[in-house]
Structure 1
Amino acid sequence: ITEKIGDEFYRAPTYMTFEEYLNWRDRKQQEEYFDRLQGVTLSGDRSSSGIEDPIAKFDVKTSLIDRLFGGTNVDIRPQGNINLTFGFDYQKIQNPILTLRQQRTGNFDFDMDINMSASGKIGEKLNLNFNYNTQATFDFDNQMKINYDTKNFSEDEIIQNIEAGNVSMPLRSNLIKGAQNLFGVKTEMKFGHLRTTLLAAQQRSRQQSLTVQGGSQVQTFERPIDEYDENRHFFLSHWNRNEFEPALECLPVPISQFTVTRMEVWITNDRLATENVRDVVALMDLGEPQPFLNGPTVDDPNRPDYSLVSPPELDNKGQGLPANNNNRLYPMIASDLVSDPAFRFSDQVVSRLTNQYELKQIRDFEKVRARLLSSSEYTYNDQLGFVSINLNVQPDQVVGIALEYTYNGIPHKI
């Protein structure tokens, strides 16, 4: 056995017997065998088995991307169209009233129509889906979702799934129901046998229960009465409005000594009816013990005063009842009707009420061509003192009521 450095011997030749050679060769083969199992060789980065040498150099960037995304391939496939419209609108108006600058006007016209979608993959773990359309009818037609899924690669990964964009949160429990249309971030993690789902999102949907009976849909909803039943229910007087709540304190029987015995309801004749039609004058303060016309104010120094210091017709609490004699308006008009029958003429009543009584039309009274409603067109509560009209009363229509009632057995008229 000779040992050289270059072409020069640096050690004297040695000799070994055949038995010694066999022992040396056996130890050498054992060392090569164990080195091959460990992936370590002296001639390169890989052994004959193909296992990488842990001491050899390797690409850290490529290994990290491959581990995170399950590969280094990037595949993005966009499709769709973007239409841009540019224009200029110029107008020239030859109008001598306008200045020269106003006669010539111009502005830019710009419109954009986008209908795009894209699907992409980075490795095998990250998926991207996106679509956007400016002409979409609903917001949920535009979807964007990024999905990072590691379930198919390793069961030991802590982060199993990450979703961003349009996500959902379905739950298997009947007690708490999940949501479907969410926009945010959802993460699924696994710690041994413990699984957790974290969600931070904005809910873009709402849950609604529908019932179908006999082929039709039945849905129960509630709305305040003043939002759908406008201009249908009217109190007969301010006294009835003030006594409405006290009369209902001991249900089911209202506590009231007020009883309507007869009623007529008149409304503006917008149907061109010919029966039960006449000219009607409706007065706002008729029969009110505390009328609106109670003397001058700062805003209206000429407002007349038709109130009485002590109304003659009172209820059990000492409050004035709605009655013709509880203010000065009806007695004065009734006296003039007796002394001057021409007061009843329809062509004079407006001027007489405006000039002689200082009333203002629309605010204090209205003269209209009205028709008498039939009993099927309205209902009323004879104890609580309100009427419900079974018509859609328009804001420009006038409703007038004449009634007779008894209070504690004593009859009254308005």
Structure 2
Amino acid sequence: MGWKSLDDMELDGKRVLLRVDINVPVENGRVTDATRIERIVPTVTDILSRGGKVTLLAHFGRPKGKAVDEMSLKQVLPALEKALGRDVAFVPSLDAAAEAQGDLQLMENIRFYPGEEANDEGFARQLAALGDIYCNDAFSAAHRAHASTEALARLLPACAGRLMQAELSALEAALAKPERPVGAVVGGAKVSTKIALLENLVNRLDVLVIGGGMANTFLAALGADLGKSLEEPDYYDTAKDIMAQADKAGCRVILPVDGLVAREFAKGAAHEVAQLGPDAKLSDDQMVLDAGPNTVALVETAFAGLRTLIWNGPMGAFEIPPFDTATVAAARAAAAKTREGTLTSVAGGGDTVAALNQAGVADDFTYISTAGGAFLEWMEGKTLPGVAALGG
């Protein structure tokens, strides 16, 4: 851990520029999911209770350096005030920020300024003039080298907020210094989006479970004929290379040995269990939409021997029952072991969080990351600019 936390900072009487991620879903001017807002409350409360003054820096959508009414952070203000249980001053511009009174204010969408996404040092200096300390609590934006995540951190004494601290500590425990044996579930639709992740993980894991549409590509690469299942023929060789790399590294790879197959992708579609493997042959109108019961049993047995588990991506088309069966069953098995205190479980990625919520076990995992792209890049072994700028 090379980064500082709020515990290392003297905050009394200091102006703190706090970078947060409150890029939440909004419909008809109302926030429909305030999770990201709620997760910044401990950091804001901590700074205020220690005598600091907080200016919140955040983005909303992709306005591309121009003011866009539909992307104003003003629409997030009521949900922010509700979460914090107090008033928050809204600052419409950089010029107004210098004149703002009070101990808590929200700056207008930082991406309204072209200097933000350009990581412009001149713009970062304008921001730095508004504070004495920089605190980054937006791990989910840490993979972006923007002025408010990277340049600003080099201009002021910098630290991680409580959410960033929790995220980094959890990910370091899961990947950098895990308690072994360590395993991972990597699912989702396409191998092409997770090559770097798989190549990094196979050298660090004892067990790798591959699920979702990705698994079809691996099975097809080994010789399976999976009908009209989603697969990527251009990545057959990549799949074989990853399997060879895993074998060399001593990482056991678990692919589906059976699956739920159907002729249409629809809720409640007629389906059957088919045996899978290199010799599998489905009819031309069939597709694999979930892992089967024997695969779930294999995965649950593998989980029983693990001490650390990383999860990214569902094991099937979890959005449409009954093709959520494998994901839900495996998630509940991991959650039960976590509750027993015998497993450290870390999960991340939008679909992953949605799937764990659907299984009703998100609260039982050791840590759930809401940082999609940043979580994936960290797991790929990449350096995140926003973390590196903190000294980590």
State the TM-score bracket (shorter-chain normalisation): under 0.3
- Larger of the two Rg values belongs to structure: 1
Normalised TM-score (structure 2):
0.17
Normalised TM-score (structure 1):
0.16
Report which of the two has the higher share of helix.
Answer: 2
Report which of the two has the higher share of strand.
Answer: 1
- Give the number of the structure with larger relative contact order, counting CA–CA contacts within 8 Å between residues 6 or more apart: 2
